[in-house]
Amino acid sequence: MWRATILTLFPDLFPGPLDASVLGRARAEGLWALDTVDIRDFSDNPYRSVDDTPAGGGAGMVMRADILAAALDSVPAEGRPVLCLTPRGAPFTQARARALAGGPGLIALCGRFEGIDQRLIEARGIEEVSIGDFVLAGGEVAAMALVEACVRLLPGVLGSPSSAGEESFEAGLLEYPQYTRPRLFEGLEIPAVLLSGDHKKIAGWRAEKAEETTRARRPDLLKRALENGPIRRGKIKDQDR
């Protein structure tokens, strides 16, 4: 069974949003498992502290490598990669989520304070990942985002198996815009093509919109999609080649 183990100073935050809706149902059905390790249980002092002042000086505190190593070594890896959440990490992507979902699960290390002693990362060969170019107060919300992105890709978790394949990033582009009833909302109509019943025309319109949106909002994604060969959806204009 796909399993996530979260090392954290705040185990009570879990499962939190991971228990809502389809993910919660899937966990109840045994499609995936979640457990937490309280890093403070591995402290070496009566205050249960896990941090110390930064070498070289400066503000804040740093999580200690020796205590984190003891916490990490208490977890049976069972072939799972260890990921550390940090703004210094490689950007987490849909492709990484898909790869992780295809494996046995993951072990995630949540930082707090100014972060963790770099020697732990080196000594345990930990993968550093970021969920975006901004700074959170701790790694817990980031770990939830990562686990949620993986679990919704597991077989049987989402209602319709096709709903994950067409989405943003899956074809290297952002998704086309979505609409539903009512047909008229504050003077705004649903685009007529979507009501035409012509599936070929609809697919073409969606491909065009996906490309147009990606070009306007994420030219970096469009560039990468083009470098990776022909885009699955829609035609690319000559200026983008």
List of residues contacting ligand SAH (CB under 6 A): 85-88, 110-112, 114-115, 130-132, 134-136, 138-139, 142
Q: How far apart are CA 4 and CA 147, in angstroms?
A: 7
133 vs 186, beta carbon nearer ligand SAH: 133
| Min dist. Cβ of residue 87 to ligand SAH (A) | 4
What's the first-to-final CA gap in the chain, in angstroms? 44
| Min dist. Cβ of residue 23 to ligand SAH (A) | 20
Q: How many CB atoms lie within 10 A of CB 23?
A: 22
Q: How far apart are CA 224 and CA 117, in angstroms?
A: 34
| Min dist. Cβ of residue 151 to ligand SAH (A) | 18
| Min dist. Cβ of residue 172 to ligand SAH (A) | 23
11 vs 204, beta carbon nearer ligand SAH: 11
Helix (H) or strand (E) segment spanning residue 127 = strand 127-130
28 vs 137, beta carbon nearer ligand SAH: 137
CB nearest ligand SAH: which residue?
Answer: 111
67 vs 131, beta carbon nearer ligand SAH: 131
142 vs 194, beta carbon nearer ligand SAH: 142
CA 145 from chain center: how many Å?
5
8 vs 214, beta carbon nearer ligand SAH: 8
Q: How many CB atoms lie within 10 A of CB 197?
A: 8
What is the widest separation between alpha-carbon atoms in the chain? 70
| Min dist. Cβ of residue 149 to ligand SAH (A) | 13
Distances (CA, A) of 192 to 158, 166, 186: 29, 21, 16
| Min dist. Cβ of residue 84 to ligand SAH (A) | 7
CB 128 within 8 Å of CB 118:
no
> 127-130 and 184-185 as β-strands: parallel, antiparallel, unpaired?
unpaired
Tokens of 180: 């539903």
| Min dist. Cβ of residue 38 to ligand SAH (A) | 16
37 vs 131, beta carbon nearer ligand SAH: 131
CA 214 from chain center: how many Å?
20
